[in-house]
Amino acid sequence: MWPNIFAERLDDWNLLRSQCQNIPIELALTTVNQWWFNAPWRAYHLHWDDQQDWPDPWELLSDNIYCDLARGLGILYTITLLDRNDITDATLVLTKNGHNLVLVAKEKYILNWDRDTVVNTNQEDEIVKQVHQHFVRQQYN
């Protein structure tokens, strides 16, 4: 269940990050992915061309509007703020086919594709745009 009140969403997000600190990487990524798939979805909210105006993590939670890109951004923010040594190369990408995905561990894990699946066997879609975890870390850590 997705919390309706901002303070509850913030507390829930904090709990999510705490729960993902000391568990295996695949379980942590699955947990983050599933949490964001519970967010209320709408077709369009953020756009890649407006990247300089994207909300920070706390504004994103406050806005409570999540298209595929906003959900992917939330996943990237969450992974970045976990600050785990084994998750240092996450990237939010826009593919040529229009998918907004979060790639982790040299594309071994793909998030924001399916609620319950984060492992990828073959990512062949061309990347058109991307935002790396280190860029987000510099802004919000």
Three-class secondary structure of residue 132 per DSSP: strand
Residue 47 reports pLDDT greater than 70: yes
pLDDT at 43: 85
Dihedral angle computed from the Cα positions of residues 56, 14, 89 and 85, in that order, rounded to the nearest 10 degrees: 140
pLDDT of residue 139: 75
Report pLDDT digits (tens) over 63-107. Answer: 999 999 999 999 999 999 998 999 999 999 999 989 999 999 877
Tokens of 30: 């699955």
> What are the residue boundaries of the structural domains of the chain, listed by start?
6-140
* Burial per residue of 22-46, b for 16 or more beta-carbon CB atoms within 10 angstroms, e otherwise: eeebeebbbbbbebbbebeeeeebb
CATH architecture of 6-140: Roll (3.10)
Give residue-wise pLDDT tens across range 17-33: 999 999 999 999 999 99
E strand or H helix that includes residue 124: none
pLDDT tens, residue by residue, 104-119: 987 789 999 988 877 6
Instruction: Compute the average pLDDT of residues 4-18.
Output: 95
pLDDT at 136 over 90: no
131/64 Cα distance (integer angstroms): 21
Please say if the pLDDT value at position 133 is more than 60: yes
Paired strand residues for 127: 95
